[in-house]
Amino acid sequence: MKLPSEKEYLSHIAYDSVIFGFSEDSLKILIMKYHNTGLYALPGGFVRKDENLDDAVKRGLKERTGLENIYLEQFHAFGNVQRYNPETMRNILEANDLQPESSHWMLDRFISIAYYALINYNDVDPKPDYLSDAINWYTMEDLPPLMLDHQDIINKALHTLRDNLERKLVGVNLLPRKFTMMELQRVYEAILGHTLRRTTFQRKMLNLGILERHEKRYSGKAHKAPYLYSFVQ
Domains and their CATH numbers in the chain? 9-163 (3.90.79.10), 176-231 (no CATH)
CA distance 224 to 103: 66
CA distance 111 to 86: 13
Q: Indicate the average pLDDT of the chain.
A: 90
pLDDT in tens, 117-158: 988 888 888 999 889 999 999 998 899 999 999 999 999 999
Q: How confident is the model at residue 231 (pLDDT cuts 50, 70, 90)?
A: confident
pLDDT in tens, 160-184: 998 888 777 777 778 888 899 999 9
Closest by CA to 44, choosing from 127, 124, 114, is 114
- What is the pTM for the complete model shown? 0.87
